[in-house]
Amino acid sequence: MPRDPGGVVIVGSGLGGYTLAREFRKLAPDAPVTVITADGGEVYSKPMLSAAFAQGKTPMTLIQKTARQYQAELNITVLPRQKVVAIDRAAKQLVLSDGRIGYQRLVLAIGADPRPYTVEGSDSVTIHTVNDLDDYAVWRDGLIPGGRVLLIGAGLIGSEFANDLTTAGQKVTVVDPAPWPLGRLLPKELGEEAATALSAIGVVFHLGRSVAKLEPGRATLDNGVVVDFDKALSAIGLVPRTGLAAAAGLAVDKGIVVDRLLRTSDPDIYALGDCTQTEAGPLPFVAPLMAEAKALAATLAGIETPLTLPALPVVVKTPALPMAVCPPAPGTVGQWRVEGQGRDRKALFVGGDGQPLGFALSGSYAAERQTLAKGMPDLL
């Protein structure tokens, strides 16, 4: 390792930016590290946001450390509530709302934006999204006991919120055009079991349906059914934040394009986490992000370390039906082979040559995820 690996400026204090800061600090005890973040810079577990309510946690109790505490613990500089509005690559400076800050090596860990949800009348209704602690505090504020929640989207995050909110006493109605929950991750058999299990705890599903019109407190579906609600939450996916990078002339596609070293098209600028498009595509989950942070920390500390990624299963936080998924790479051709009965199902996604390329597990099979993952092809 070089004696002086040099400093680094990281934009973003989510799991990506903060894990990188921690891993880099381990390898470079004296190098200056600055984290600039648009939010409050608190350390918290984002995956907990869709499981916290039923566990009696509040936005305040989800905070593990304040920005100040993390700054002191790692001996780094954290600049919270500072939005980077542009990257001046010629001057090697970040433009903030009220000043500029120089960098030698820059890392973008700026996450993703909730996909906007628009239908007729949607501008007359507050449709919440939850993608960070600030959003979560706004969402939780004003939820009334036993309130009626309209939840748009039955994907991974939508299904987790449906389980959590229902367990916490809310009356949840889910609308999704897909025929079963987690439609992109589960075959029919498991998807229908998920719908059955969530319905059994009180979630009302309108699957294969869309909202045709929204008015304050009332949604009319495309089959004419009317759903009354107190609060609306959209969970229809995320779009990597590429605007800052694109405006600076960096290569962007579905995310900020990075190579195996997590380097963008500018060799002094790196990126990781939800904002990126790796060689394996966008990977908006914690496990790949941790691997990215470790590899990038080593590279920044002078040990060039290409990213490698084994298959990484994701646990679905739906206690009504424990599930784990390990989706095949996007665009993979193959078919599902499902075994098991009722809640306990094991589905392998098998390619033309008979090789398993991904899986989905429910009930008692969910515990097999780590063992099964070892037999799956590496992502990178």
Ligand X SMILES: Cc1cc2nc3c(=O)[nH]c(=O)nc-3n(C[C@H](O)[C@H](O)[C@H](O)COP(=O)(O)OP(=O)(O)OC[C@H]3O[C@@H](n4cnc5c(N)ncnc54)[C@H](O)[C@@H]3O)c2cc1C
Residues making contact with ligand X (CB under 6 A): 11-17, 36-39, 46-47, 49-50, 83-84, 109-111, 130-132, 157, 241, 244, 273-274, 284-287, 289, 314, 317
Asked if residue 339 lies in contact with residue 361, where contact means CB atoms within 8 angstroms, the answer is no
Q: How many CB atoms lie within 10 A of CB 168?
A: 16
Q: How far is the CB of 335 from ligand X (least distance, A)?
A: 26
Q: Which is nearer to ligand X, 221 or 380 (CB)?
A: 380
Task: List, in order, residues 6 or more apart from 2 with CB less than 8 Å away.
Answer: 302
Of 177, 164, 166, give the one whose Cα is nearest residue 210: 177
And the tokens for 237?
A: 């996916």
Q: Which is nearer to ligand X, 241 or 369 (CB)?
A: 241
Residue 188 Cα to chain centre, angstroms:
24
List b or e across 27-41, with b for residues whose CB sees 16 or more CB atoms inside 10 angstroms.
bbeebebbbbbbbbb
Q: How far is the CB of 351 from ligand X (least distance, A)?
A: 24
Q: Which is nearer to ligand X, 83 or 92 (CB)?
A: 83
Residue where the block lists tokens 């000043």: 99
And the tokens for 37?
A: 């973040």
Task: List, in order, residues 6 or more apart from 79 with CB less than 8 Å away.
Answer: 34, 35, 36, 37, 41, 101
Rounded-to-integer distance, Cα 280 and Cα 45, Å: 24
Q: Which is nearer to ligand X, 49 or 360 (CB)?
A: 49
Q: How far is the CB of 134 from ligand X (least distance, A)?
A: 8
Q: Which is nearer to ligand X, 1 or 91 (CB)?
A: 91
Q: How far is the CB of 12 from ligand X (least distance, A)?
A: 3
Q: How far is the CB of 108 from ligand X (least distance, A)?
A: 8
Q: Which is nearer to ligand X, 102 or 179 (CB)?
A: 102
- Per DSSP, the three-state class of 164 is helix
Q: How far is the CB of 62 from ligand X (least distance, A)?
A: 11
Q: Which is nearer to ligand X, 122 or 159 (CB)?
A: 159
Rounded-to-integer distance, Cα 264 and Cα 295, Å: 15
Asked if residue 176 lies in contact with residue 158, where contact means CB atoms within 8 angstroms, the answer is yes
Asked if residue 222 lies in contact with residue 210, where contact means CB atoms within 8 angstroms, the answer is yes
Q: How far is the CB of 22 from ligand X (least distance, A)?
A: 13
- Per DSSP, the three-state class of 133 is helix
Task: List, in order, residues 6 or more apart from 179 with CB less than 8 Å away.
Answer: 188, 191, 207, 208
Q: Which is nearer to ligand X, 227 or 325 (CB)?
A: 325
Rounded-to-integer distance, Cα 334 and Cα 353, Å: 9
Q: How far is the CB of 365 from ligand X (least distance, A)?
A: 18
Q: Which is nearer to ligand X, 69 or 220 (CB)?
A: 69
Rounded-to-integer distance, Cα 234 and Cα 280, Å: 27
Q: How far is the CB of 226 from ligand X (least distance, A)?
A: 28
Rounded-to-integer distance, Cα 121 and Cα 248, Å: 36
Task: List, in order, residues 6 or more apart from 180 with CB less than 8 Å away.
Answer: 154, 186, 188, 191, 192, 194, 195, 207
Q: Which is nearer to ligand X, 31 or 101 (CB)?
A: 101
And the tokens for 350?
A: 């098998």
Q: How far is the CB of 261 from ligand X (least distance, A)?
A: 17
